[in-house]
Amino acid sequence: MTHAAEGLPRPLEQYRDYLRLLARVHLDPRLRGALDPSDVVQQTLLKAHENLRGFRGKTDAELAAWLRAILAQELALLGRKRGRRPVRTHSLESALEQSSARLESLLVSEESSPSLEMVRAERLIELARALATLPADQRTAVELRYLRGLSVPAVAEQMGRTTVSVTGLLYRGTQALRQRMGDSS
């Protein structure tokens, strides 16, 4: 059965890197040694497949939002199972939505049409894949700055680096992303 026959704008698998990026950014730091974001994403996609009949959307944006909600449920469930302070699923959904919006803002176009929305969704998936190819320090700095919305000093503090070092990581990371995305601006 194809994704079109299932009523989906695109196959669920195409969202793997996008979901992994969000899971990596929002996984409780205390659980990072015990849990791999890829495992969380695998469980999310499994749940999505199991509940595919419950998806009522028609667009890439609706599918992405539905997958983010499932990811939030999985992150909250894993946190509770590991004995961490309970995190409300709604709070996680909101945080994931904000990160996704920040990610999308890197791709914003003033125009909007169904075909442009489809292209934007594809570019969002490409950006998530490109982020995954960055060296770990660059990726972490870019994720904390642009997806979590932290200031450069806050990123430096969280990474245990100087602001000058983080500024360099951000510069190199964004340059590499532009190059990988084929954008010379």
Q: How confident is the model at residue 25 (pLDDT cuts 50, 70, 90)?
A: confident
57 and 140 co-located in one domain: no
User: What are the tens digits of pLDDT across the range 101-133?
Assistant: 777 666 555 455 556 666 666 777 888 888 889
The pLDDT of residue 146 is: 86
Task: Using pLDDT thresholds of 50, 70 and 90, give the confidence band for residue 5.
Answer: very low
pLDDT-derived band at 1 (thresholds 50, 70, 90) equals: very low
The verdict on 124 and 140 lying in the same domain is no
Residues 3, 81 within the same domain: yes
Which of the listed residues 133, 160, 177 is the one where a domain comes to its end? 133
Please measure the distance between the N-terminal and C-terminal CA atoms of the chain and give it in whole angstroms.
Answer: 41
Query: Which residues does 82 contact at the CB level (< 8 Å), separation at least 6?
Result: 31, 34, 35
| 125 and 167, same domain (yes or no) | no
- Alpha-carbon distance of 41 to 17, in angstroms, equals 9
Q: How many C-alpha atoms does 58 have within 13 Å on its Cβ side?
A: 1
Assess whether 96 and 152 both reside in one domain.
no
Instruction: Among 118, 133, 148, give the residue marking a domain's end.
Output: 133
Same domain, 48 and 112: yes
**163: CB partners within 8 A, 6+ apart:** 152, 153, 156
Residue 113 has what pLDDT?
A: 54
Do 129 and 167 reside in the same domain of the chain?
Answer: no
Q: Which domain holds residue 90?
A: 1-133
Round to whole Å and give the CA distance between 172 and 87.
34
pLDDT per position as a tens digit, 43-84: 999 999 999 888 888 888 888 889 989 998 888 888 777 665
Verify that 147 and 160 share a domain, yes or no.
yes
Are 124 and 148 members of one domain? no
Instruction: Kindly state whether residues 33 and 102 are assigned to the same domain.
Output: yes
Please check whether residues 104 and 154 belong to one and the same domain. Answer: no
Judge if 93 and 16 occupy the same domain. Answer: yes
Whole-number Å distance between alpha carbons of 97 and 113 = 21
Question: Which pLDDT value is given to residue 61?
Answer: 82
Count structural domains, the chain: 2
Q: Final residue of a domain: which of 133, 156, 173? A: 133
